[in-house]
C-alpha cells in the first residue's frame, strides 16, 4: 500500500467499448491531476484515449474476434481469465492501492482482488441493481424467452465449470464467499434521480452522474447561422449504426422543415450512401456530441446510457429508438420520467420521426423536467466526486 509520501496507485480495468471507456476518461484525468498514479487496462484498440488521459496502459490479451470478443470474454462465466493475463502480470510487479473494475467484468475483478487485496470499486456506466431493481431481470423482459429446458442440470454444470476456472486461477474454497461483492464500493455514472428505485441504494453506491470534464467536452461545433432549430441524430458507436435507411428516414422527415439536421453515422454507414441529402441535412462520421447537444432542440438516439447522460447534461429532450434490451430499459426510464419519447425500431418512418421530434421539442413541461434532470446531473459531482471516492479508499 502507498505510504503517505507516495503517489497512490489506482488500477482501473474497463471493458473495451466506447460506452465503458468514455465515462472513465475524465475520472482518470482528475486522479492524475490530484497526484495519483493510474494504470488502466482495456482492449488494444482503446488504450490510446486512456493513455491520453494520463494513465499507464496495459492491453488485455486479444482473443479471436477483436475488441468485441474480448469484451464478451471478460463479461462471461468462463473465458475471462485469458484476456486478464497481461493485467495479472503487470500487477504482480506493481500492485494497486485501489482496484477499480467495470461491473460487467465482475468475475475478472474478483480474480484481481484475490491476487491483490486492496479496496475495490465497481464502475457502473449503466443502471445499478439491488434487491429492489434488477437490470438483468428488466432486460430479460425485453428478450424473447428461450425454449424450455431442464434448468437444474445446466446450472449445476455452469457452477462446476466456474469453480474449475477459478481454481485454475488459484481461487479455491467457498464459491459464494469468493464471488461476494459485499466489500466493493460502487460508482454509478448516472444521477440517483435517474436510477430506478434510486432511494433504496445504500451508501456503498455513489451516484456520480455523467463524468463530463475537459476530455469529454473537447471539440467544438457551431450551428448554421440561419437560427433554425438543430436536431442531432445518432445510432451510437456499436454495430447498430449500419442502418442507412434509418438515416434516410430522418433526413426525409425534415427535408421540408426549417430545421438543421445533423447526422453522426459512426463506422457503420458511409456518408456517400446517403447522397443526395436535403440542403438542411449534414452527415458526419463523428462529431463531439456535447458540442452539438448544447445547441440542439432534440436528440434522436438509440438509448445508450452515455448518449442519454450527454443529452440530459445539455438539457436536450430525446426520441429514443432502442436497438436492444438494455436500451429498452433505459428508454423506459426516459419515458417514465417524462424526459423524452420512445419510437420502436419497427415503427420508424419519416412521419413518426417528425411527429415525435416536434412533440418533444415543443413541450414546455418536458423542457422543465429535462432542465431539472440536467441540474441533478451537475449536482451529482461527476469526475470530481468519482475521484474523491476512489482516493478516500487509499490506505483503508
Say what percent of the chain tops pLDDT 90: 79
Q: Are 216 and 153 in contact (CB under 8 A)?
A: no
**Are residues 234 and 359 located together in one domain of the fold?**
yes
Please tell me the predicted confidence (pLDDT) of residue 305. Answer: 97
Q: Examine the pLDDT at 319 and tell me if it is beyond 90.
A: yes
pLDDT per residue as tens digits for the range 188-197: 999 999 999 9
pLDDT of residue 162: 85
Please indicate, yes or no, if residue 330 is contained in any of the structural domains: yes
| pLDDT attached to residue 6 | 84
Are 128 and 188 within one domain?
Answer: yes
pLDDT at 147: 67
Say if residue 122 is in the same domain as residue 164.
yes
**Average confidence (pLDDT) over 137-155:** 73
C-alpha cell at 240: 447498430
pLDDT at 212: 95
**Domain shared by 189 and 288, yes or no:** no
Within-domain flag for 183: yes
Contact call for residues 41 and 99 (beta carbons, < 8 A)? no
Helices (H), ranges, 76-119:
81-93, 106-115
Signed CA dihedral, 24, 121, 86, 178: sign only = negative
167 domain-assigned: yes
Q: Does 300 reside within a domain?
A: yes
In this predicted structure, which of 145-154, 343-352, 379-388 has the lowest mean pLDDT? 145-154
Same domain, 303 and 189: no
Nearest-10 Cα torsion for 141, 145, 149, 152: -10
Say what the pLDDT of residue 168 is. 83
244 and 115 together in one domain: no
Mean pLDDT, range 358-374, rounded to an integer = 98
Q: How confident is the model at residue 2 (pLDDT cuts 50, 70, 90)?
A: low
* pLDDT mean over 176-198: 92
CA distances from 34 to 28, 159, 194, 236, 390 (A): 10, 42, 29, 32, 12
Nearest to 244 by CA among 278, 300, 280, 283: 283
Cα gap 32→226, rounded to integer Å = 42
Clarify whether residues 67 and 201 are in a common domain: yes
Give the model's confidence band at 396: pLDDT under 50 very low, under 70 low, under 90 confident, else very high. Answer: low
Supply 205's cell numbers: 453506491
Total of domains in the chain: 2
In a domain, 56, yes or no: yes
Instruction: Round to whole Å and give the CA distance between 15 and 84.
Output: 11
Task: Tell me: do 64 and 190 sit in the same domain.
Answer: yes
Amino acid 155: pLDDT: 56
Is the domain of 321 the same as that of 372?
yes
C-alpha cell at 79: 473465458
269: confidence class by pLDDT, cuts 50, 70, 90 = confident
268-281 mean pLDDT: 91
- Where are the strands (E) in 92-158, listed by range? 98-102, 120-124
First to last CA, the chain: 9
Q: What is the pLDDT of residue 143?
A: 84
Whether the CB-CB separation of 136 and 104 falls below 8 Å is answered with: no
Whether the pLDDT of residue 166 is over 60: the answer is yes
Check whether residue 103 and residue 240 sit in a common domain: no
Evaluate whether 67 touches 87 at the Cβ level (below 8 Å). no
Q: Is residue 84 part of a domain?
A: yes
Q: Please report whether residue 1 resides in a domain.
A: no
103 with 241, same domain? no
User: What proportions of the chain, in percent to the nearest 5, are helix, strand and coil?
Assistant: 45, 15, 40
Q: Whole-prediction pTM value?
A: 0.93
Q: Are residues 363 and 384 in the same domain?
A: no
pLDDT in the model for residue 149: 60
* 125, 100 Cβ separation under 8 angstroms: no
- Category of 166 on φ-ψ map: left (φ > 0), alpha (ψ -120 to 50) or beta: alpha
**C-beta separation of 57 from 28 below 8 A:** no
Write down the pLDDT at residue 100. 98
Give the CATH number of the domain where residue 81 resides: 3.40.50.2000
In a domain, 13, yes or no: yes
Q: Residue 167 above 60 pLDDT?
A: yes
pLDDT exceeds 60 at position 299:
yes
Q: What's the pLDDT tens digit per position in 21-71?
A: 999 999 999 999 999 999 999 999 999 999 999 999 999 999 877 888 999
pLDDT at residue 186 above 60?
A: yes
Q: Is 151 a residue whose pLDDT tops 60? A: no
Which of 117-142 are b and which e, b meaning 16 or more Cβ less than 10 Å from the residue's Cβ?
ebbbbbbbbbbbbbeebebeebbeee
Rounded to 10 deg, the angle between the 305-313 and 364-379 helix axes is 100
> In the predicted model, what is the mean pLDDT of residues 244-257?
96
Look at 77-81, 167-171, 221-225, 386-390 and tell me which has the smallest mean pLDDT.
167-171
Kindly state the DSSP code that residue 105 receives in the 8-state scheme.
Answer: G
80-89, 105-114, 203-212, 236-245: the lowest-pLDDT one: 236-245
Evaluate whether 5 touches 32 at the Cβ level (below 8 Å): no
Q: What is the residue range of 322's domain? A: 230-379
Handedness of CA 188, 185, 40, 128 (dihedral sign): negative
Amino acid at each position: 500500500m502507498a505510504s503517505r509520501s507516495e503517489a497512490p496507485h489506482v488500477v482501473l480495468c474497463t471493458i473495451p467499448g466506447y460506452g465503458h471507456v468514455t465515462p472513465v476518461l475524465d475520472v482518470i484525468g482528475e486522479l492524475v491531476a490530484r497526484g495519483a498514479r493510474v494504470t488502466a487496462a482495456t482492449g488494444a484498440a482503446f488504450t490510446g484515449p486512456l493513455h491520453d488521459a494520463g494513465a499507464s496502459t496495459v492491453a488485455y490479451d486479444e482473443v479471436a474476434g477483436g475488441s468485441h470478443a474480448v469484451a464478451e470474454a471478460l463479461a462471461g462465466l468462463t473465458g475471462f481469465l485469458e484476456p486478464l493475463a497481461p493485467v495479472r502480470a503487470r500487477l504482480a510487479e506493481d500492485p494497486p492501492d485501489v482496484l477499480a473494475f467495470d461491473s460487467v467484468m465482475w468475475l475478472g475483478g474478483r480474480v484481481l482482488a484475490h491476487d491483490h487485496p486492496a479496496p475495490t470499486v465497481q464502475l457502473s456506466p449503466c443502471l445499478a441493481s439491488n434487491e429492489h431493481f434488477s437490470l438483468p431481470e428488466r432486460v430479460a423482459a425485453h428478450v424473447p424467452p428461450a425454449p424450455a429446458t431442464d434448468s437444474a442440470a445446466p446450472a449445476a454444470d455452469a457452477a462446476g465449470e466456474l469453480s474449475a476456472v477459478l481454481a485454475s486461477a488459484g481461487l479455491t474454497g467457498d464459491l459464494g464467499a469468493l464471488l461476494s461483492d459485499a466489500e466493493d464500493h460502487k460508482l454509478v455514472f448516472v444521477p440517483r434521480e435517474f436510477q430506478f428505485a434510486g432511494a433504496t441504494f445504500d451508501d456503498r453506491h455513489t451516484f456520480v452522474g455523467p463524468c463530463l470534464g475537459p476530455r469529454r467536452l473537447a471539440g467544438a461545433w457551431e450551428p448554421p447561422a440561419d437560427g433554425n432549430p438543430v436536431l442531432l441524430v445518432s445510432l451510437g458507436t456499436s454495430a447498430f449504426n449500419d442502418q442507412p435507411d434509418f438515416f434516410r428516414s430522418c433526413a426525409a422527415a425534415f427535408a421540408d422543415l426549417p430545421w438543421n439536421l445533423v447526422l453522426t453515422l459512426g463506422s457503420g454507414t458511409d456518408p456517400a450512401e446517403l447522397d443526395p441529402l436535403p440542403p438542411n441535412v449534414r452527415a458526419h462520421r463523428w462529431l463531439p456530441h456535447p458540442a452539438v447537444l448544447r445547441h440542439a432542440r432534440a436528440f434522436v438516439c438509440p438509448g445508450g446510457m452515455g448518449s442519454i447522460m450527454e443529452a440530459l447534461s445539455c438539457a436536450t429532450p430525446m426520441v429514443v429508438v432502442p436497438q436492444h434490451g438494455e436500451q429498452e430499459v433505459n428508454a423506459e426510464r426516459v419515458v417514465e420520467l417524462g424526459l423524452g419519447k420512445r419510437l420502436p425500431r419497427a415503427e420508424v418512418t419519416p412521419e413518426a420521426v417528425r411527429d415525435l421530434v416536434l412533440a418533444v421539442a415543443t413541450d414546455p413541461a418536458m423542457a422543465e423536467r429535462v432542465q431539472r434532470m440536467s441540474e441533478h446531473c451537475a449536482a451529482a459531482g461527476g469526475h470530481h466526486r468519482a475521484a474523491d471516492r476512489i482516493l478516500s479508499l487509499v490506505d483503508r
